[in-house]
């Protein structure tokens, strides 16, 4: 593992980010690791609510996706929920002061996301995933150090490439109490929007990339509860690799496949399952529904769930496409629900090649079974 968790567990120094202002939040540059031998600083927005009755507040680290940066609106969403929140930039940029494109950070590290495929000839310590993961851990350490923040109740969520980074960070930093990767996951070389990039880089370089930068390398170390969220027709991360990733961590896993979910920062922030999951883990509130098992025989498929309470809607998603999962079209149909068994059943249309169940409970929250190949062994 290339990161030194002991040194990254020390809160970094913070410096005010001039020109940024908000009545509730603070804009800072946090000191990062050296890049090409020079010190770096990365931008962050953070906010800490006042503690009620002298109690410290929980916290969350927010990790943007490709083309994003540290989003103030995201911090303020969690601040309004009573959380200390920190959103960091992982791509050597800064938010625009008013509107427009992200600004370059002259003291930042390597460029992010898609650029990572072109950095394999660089030293490990000068590559994007190394710096971005380190910055996440440093931001976590910084948040833990703030007055009124409960260091033992901090989680993380990330969107798209931020979900990818979240999937690495939870396998490196065991201090996180929960995680929610949205869209992003591991096994990028197995069935993702970047298949051609891996083909072009050749087998030898692909092996190197997978060894250091695929989340599948680190997810088996994660022991905290994890909620995986994705759409069934996401254009970047297929359901196949979402499922493969979800099976690796040692903690309890939850899955929410949301039919036709759009891929964007705004859509990735929006699922109501995320704050409910945080409350479940940090405050022992009513948990999300959890899919327990899935089965099939002769075109009839079923899934059992736990913690349902009352099912508002139960549907079965299926596809008749074959081959790679990226680009498959999915349709959902109504499934039968047996409340006495908390079990959903469905007879698949002829030609169906894979399926999943999605249950919407009385709170409007979605829980899903594993996407499964028809007649394939689990």
Residue that is last in its domain, among 219, 248, 283? 283
Tokens of 36: 């090409």
Q: Do 323 and 205 sit in the same domain of this protein?
A: no
**Least confident segment among 25-29, 190-194, 305-309:** 305-309
Domain limits for position 310: 290-373
Judged against a pLDDT cut of 70, whether residue 376 lies above it is answered with no
DSSP code, position 50:
P
> In sequence order, what are the beta bridge partners of 85?
47, 60
Together in a domain, 299 and 261: no
155 contacts 175 by C-beta, under 8 angstroms: no
pLDDT at 243 over 90: yes
Quick one: 253 and 272 in the same domain?
A: yes
CATH number at residue 39: 3.40.50.1820
Pair 92, 111: CB distance under 8 Å: yes
Domain end marker among 283, 304, 324:
283
Strands 372-373 and 366-368: unpaired
3-state class of 63 per DSSP?
strand
- Is 378 among the domain residues? no
Please choose, from the candidates 233, 238, 225, the residue with its C-alpha nearest in 3D space to the C-alpha of residue 258.
233
* pLDDT-above-90 percentage for the chain: 92
pLDDT bracket for residue 259 (50, 70, 90)? very high
Question: Quick one: 274 and 330 in the same domain?
Answer: no
Distance CA 194, CA 287 (A): 35
Q: Choose among 120, 133, 198, 116: nearest CA to 171.
A: 133
Measured between alpha carbons, how far is 115 from 156 in angstroms, rounded to an integer?
Answer: 24
Average pLDDT over residues 299-327: 95
Percent of the chain with pLDDT over 70: 99
Angle of helix 161-172 relative to helix 128-145, nearest 10 degrees, comes to 70
118, 196: one domain: yes
Give a yes or no: residue 21 inside a domain.
yes
Rounded CA-CA distance 3/224 in Å is: 20
Tell me, yes or no, whether 267 and 321 share the same domain: no
pLDDT given for residue 375 in this prediction? 85
Mean pLDDT on 25-50: 97
**How do residues 39-74 score in pLDDT, each as one tens digit?**
999 999 999 998 777 789 999 999 999 999 999 999
Q: How far apart are CA 372 and CA 354, in angstroms?
A: 5
Q: Which two tokens stand for residue 158?
A: 């990330």
The span from the CA of 361 to the CA of 3, in Å, is 41
Pairing state between β 149-159 and 179-182: parallel
* Other beta carbons less than 10 A from residue 59's beta carbon: 28
Instruction: Output b/e per residue, 207-231; b: 16+ Cβ within 10 A.
Output: eebbebbbbbbbbeebebbbbbbbb
In the chain, where does DSSP find H-type helix? 5-8, 72-80, 128-145, 161-172, 195-213, 239-246, 265-269, 273-283
Q: Which residues pair with 315 in a beta bridge?
A: 334, 358
Indicate the SS3 state at residue 318: strand
Residues with Cβ within 8 Å of 153's Cβ and at least 6 positions away in sequence, in order, are 56, 58, 59, 177, 282
pLDDT at 377: 43
Nearest to 179 by CA among 131, 248, 116, 235: 248
Q: Domain end: 247, 264, 283, which one?
A: 283
Confidence of residue 341 (pLDDT cuts 50, 70, 90): very high
Kindly state whether residue 80 falls inside one of the protein's structural domains.
yes
> How many structural domains is the chain composed of?
2
Q: How far apart are CA 80 and CA 82, in angstroms?
A: 5
- How many CB atoms lie under 10 A from the CB of residue 296? 18
Q: What is the pLDDT of residue 378?
A: 42
Indicate whether 356 belongs to any domain.
yes
Q: Are residues 23 and 87 in the same domain?
A: yes
What is the Cα–Cα distance from 324 to 327, expressed in whole angstroms? Answer: 8
Quote the pLDDT of residue 113.
Answer: 81
CA distance 87 to 233: 27
How far apart, in whole angstroms, are the C-alpha atoms of residue 158 and residue 71?
Answer: 12
Q: What is the CATH number of the domain that holds 359?
A: 2.60.40.10
| Residue 177 in tokens | 């109490």
170 and 301 housed in the same domain: no
Residues 104 and 253 in one domain: yes
Per-residue burial over 342-356, b = 16 or more CB atoms within 10 Å of its CB, e = otherwise? bbbbbebeeebbbbb
Burial of 364 per CB tally in 10 Å (0-12, 13-18, 19+): exposed
pLDDT (0 to 100) of residue 99: 84
| Mean pLDDT score of the chain | 96
**Residues 349, 239 share a domain:** no
């Amino acid at each position: 593992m290339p990161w030194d968790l002991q040194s990254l567990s020390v809160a970094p120094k913070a410096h005010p980010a001039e020109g940024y202002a908000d009545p509730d939040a603070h804009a800072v540059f946090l000191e990062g690791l050296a890049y090409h031998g020079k010190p770096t600083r990365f931008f962050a927005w953070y906010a800490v609510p006042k503690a009620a009755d002298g109690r410290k507040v929980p916290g969350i680290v927010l990790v943007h996706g490709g083309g994003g940066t540290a989003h103030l609106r995201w911090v303020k969403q969690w601040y309004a929920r009573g959380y200390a929140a920190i959103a960091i930039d992982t791509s050597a940029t800064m938010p625009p002061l008013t509107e427009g494109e992200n600004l370059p950070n002259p003291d930042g590290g390597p460029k992010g996301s898609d650029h990572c495929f072109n950095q394999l000839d660089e030293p490990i310590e000068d590559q994007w995933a190394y710096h971005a993961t380190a910055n996440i851990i440093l931001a976590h350490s910084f948040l833990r150090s703030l007055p009124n923040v409960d260091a033992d109740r901090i989680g993380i969520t990330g969107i798209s490439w931020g979900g990818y980074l979240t999937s690495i960070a939870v396998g490196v930093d065991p201090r996180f109490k929960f995680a929610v990767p949205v869209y992003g996951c591991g096994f990028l070389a197995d069935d993702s929007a970047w298949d051609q990039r891996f083909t072009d880089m050749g087998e030898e370089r692909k092996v190197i990339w997978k060894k250091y930068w695929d989340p599948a390398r680190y997810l088996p170390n994660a022991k905290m509860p994890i909620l995986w969220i994705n759409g069934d027709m996401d254009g970047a991360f297929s359901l196949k690799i979402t499922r493969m990733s979800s099976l690796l961590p040692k903690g309890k896993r939850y899955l929410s496949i949301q039919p036709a979910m759009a891929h964007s920062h705004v859509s990735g922030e929006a699922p109501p399952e995320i704050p409910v999951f945080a409350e479940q883990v940090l405050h022992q509130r009513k948990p999300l529904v959890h899919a327990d098992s899935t089965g099939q025989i002769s075109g009839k498929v079923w899934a059992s769930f736990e913690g349902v309470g009352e099912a508002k809607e139960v549907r079965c998603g299926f596809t008749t496409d074959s081959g790679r999962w990226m680009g498959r079209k999915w349709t959902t149909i109504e499934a039968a629900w047996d409340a006495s068994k908390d079990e959903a059943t469905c007879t698949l249309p002829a030609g169906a090649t894979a399926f999943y169940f999605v249950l919407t409970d009385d709170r409007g929250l979605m829980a899903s079974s594993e996407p499964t190949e028809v007649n394939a062994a689990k």
